[in-house]
Structure 1
C-alpha cells in the first residue's frame, strides 16, 4: 500500500468518519429536496453563492471574501425572506418523510378504490363537477379553509349526493383519509399558473393550487367537459377511469412505510447517496484534511493536588509551564487550551523535605492528535511547610 494511503488511514479518526457521515446525510436530504420544482430556484441560488465564495477564496479576491464574511447574516436573512415559501415547503417535506415519522396511511382496500373510480366515472358521464383530495405525508391544515367534519364510510350514493348540483357543499372539495370521507366543502388555494389551467375552470385551478403547495393528489371532474383529471406535484394529467384506478393505487401505496421515498426508484436513490457521499469526501479533503505539521508553544498553569489541609507549598514555586505541542492545524483548531494543566501530586510529601517532580508526566488533557515536543520547566523542586 502506498505510503500516503498509510498516512491517510492513520490520520482518520472515528470523529472524522462520523463527520463525513453526517455531512453525507445532510447533502442527501438536500438533493432529495432540490429534486422538486418548488425548491430548485432556492438550490440554484445557494449553489451559485457557495461557488462564488469558494472562487473568491481561491483567487484571493479580498473584497468579495470580506463582503461574504461580513454580509453573510444579511445574505441568509435575504434568502429566508425571498424563499420563505420554498423553505417552509422543504421543511414540511423533510419532517413528513418516512424516516422521521411513521406513515399514518394504511394501504387502501381495492374495493374502496373501485367505489371511488366508479363514482368518478358516473360524475364524469353526467358532467357533474367534483373535487376529491387524497392527502400525502405533508400536512394540509395550512393550505385549506372551511370544511365540515363528517368521518363517514366511503360509498357511491354518499359521494353522489355530496356533489349533486343542489347540494350545499357541491362546490367544495371532499377529503378522503384513512379510507374514510373525513371532510366535505373544503376550499382549496387557487394556482397562479394560468398557462397550465388555460381552458379549464375554477376546480382545476384549485386542484393545481393545492398540488403546488403540498404532496396531496386531487381528482377533478369537469362540469363543462365531463373529463377526469388529477393534480399532483404541480401537474395536471387527464385520465380515463382505468388510468385513474392505477394512479390511485400507486399513490396510496406510496404512503405506506415500505414504499419508495417520493416515488423514486432504488437506482435514483442509490445514485443520490453515492453523489452525497462523494461530495462529503471531497469537502472533507478540501476543508478538514490537512497534512502540514505545526508546532506551537502554549502557557499552562501548574497546580498542586492533594496537599494536606494545614500545609502550603514553600516559596518560590513555579506557577506556569511552557508546553510545545506538535500536530496538524485541524488538531489545533479543536484544542481547548484552558483544559490543559500540569497537575502535580503532593499526597506523599514530607514537611521540609524537597521533592523533584516531573512536569511532563503530570501534563493532563492533551489530545491524542497532538504530541508534546518540549516542556519548560521539565522538573519542579517542591518543598512544603506548615501554615
Structure 2
C-alpha cells in the first residue's frame, strides 16, 4: 500500500503492532535474565556476525559452515533453551507473563525487610552464622543453580531454621529472588581482593565476591562475634547496629525502588562459604 494511502487506522494498527512486538520481546528478556540462556544468546549473535562477515569478504568455506549452523540453529535453540521455553509457556498458561508484579509491591517489600531484619537480629544475638544475598537488577540464576532450590515464601522462621548449625542447608548462602527464598546452600564467588582484612572469614569474602560481579545486597552474620555486615558494590559495611541495618535495608529495598520504579527485585571460580 502506498504511503499516501495510509489511513489513521493503518497508522494506529502499525504502532500497536510494533509496541506489542517490543513488549513480548521485553517479557522474554525478563524471563531469561540471570540464566545461562543470556550467555547462549551472546553466542548466537557472534555466529550471526561471523556469517555476515564471511559473506561480505566472500570467505566461501566459512560462510557455508555458518549457513549450516544457522540452518540447524532453530532446532538447537529449542533443545538448549528448553528450560527457559518451558518456564515461559508455564507463565503464559498462568497468565503471569503479561501481568505487572503485585499492586501491593511496596507492602510486600516492607514485609520482606521486616522478615530479614527479624531473622538477622535473632541470629546475631545467638551468634548463628548466616549469608543472605538479595538479587536486584543483575540476575543471579547461575548462583541459584548451585544450591538447593526452595522457591519458598520468605519468613523469619524459615531463614533462621536454614542457618541453624549442623543442618543440611546451613553451609552456604541463601539467595532471595523476587521476594522469595529461591535457594539455600548456594556457592558464591570469593573475592580475590588483597585489601580484605585477614580477620574476615569465608562468608565475608563470598559476600564481597558476589557484590563485585552483581548489584546484589548481601548480608553477613558472623558466628564468631555476632556482628552484622552488608556487602554492596564491592564495599563492606561492617558492625551495623540493629537500627542502622534496618535503615539500610529500607533505603536500598524500598526507598530506592520508589525512586526507580523500573528496577526489580557471573564468573570466576566459586567458593563455598563456611565460617564468617
| TM-score normalised by L of structure 2 | 0.53
RMSD between aligned alpha carbons? Answer: 2.6
Structure 2: how far apart are the matches of 1:114 and 1:143? 25
Structure 2: how far apart are the matches of 1:104 and 1:209? 30
Structure 1: how far apart are the matches of 2:188 and 2:221? 15
Matches within 5 A, 1:304-319: none
In the alignment, structure 1 segments of 5+ residues that lack a partner are: 1-102, 263-387
Corresponding position of 2:140: 140
Matches within 5 A, 1:277-292: none
Q: Work out whether residues 144 and 188 of structure 1, in 8 Å CA contact, stay in contact via their aligned partners in 2.
A: no
Structure 2: how far apart are the matches of 1:215 and 1:162? 24
In the alignment, structure 2 segments of 5+ residues that lack a partner are: 1-99, 264-276
Q: Work out whether residues 254 and 260 of structure 1, in 8 Å CA contact, stay in contact via their aligned partners in 2.
A: no
Displacement, 1:229? 0.2
Displacement, 1:207? 0.3
Q: Work out whether residues 109 and 254 of structure 2, in 8 Å CA contact, stay in contact via their aligned partners in 1.
A: no
Distance 1:184 1:255, change over 3 A: farther
Task: Determine which structure has the larger helix proportion and give its number.
Answer: 2
Corresponding position of 2:249: 248
Matches within 5 A, 1:171-190: 171-190=171-190
Displacement, 1:179? 2.0
Q: Work out whether residues 134 and 176 of structure 2, in 8 Å CA contact, stay in contact via their aligned partners in 1.
A: yes
Q: Work out whether residues 144 and 182 of structure 2, in 8 Å CA contact, stay in contact via their aligned partners in 1.
A: no
Displacement, 1:254? 5.8
Choose 1 or 2 for highest CA Rg.
Answer: 1
Q: Work out whether residues 110 and 254 of structure 2, in 8 Å CA contact, stay in contact via their aligned partners in 1.
A: no
Q: Work out whether residues 144 and 175 of structure 2, in 8 Å CA contact, stay in contact via their aligned partners in 1.
A: no
Structure 1: how far apart are the matches of 2:195 and 2:232? 16
Structure 2: how far apart are the matches of 1:250 and 1:104? 20
| TM-score normalised by L of structure 1 | 0.38
Out of 230-239 and 250-259, give the one that drifted further.
Answer: 250-259
Corresponding position of 1:259: 260
- Structure number with greater CO (CA < 8 Å, separation at least 6) is 2
Task: Determine which structure has the larger strand proportion and give its number.
Answer: 1
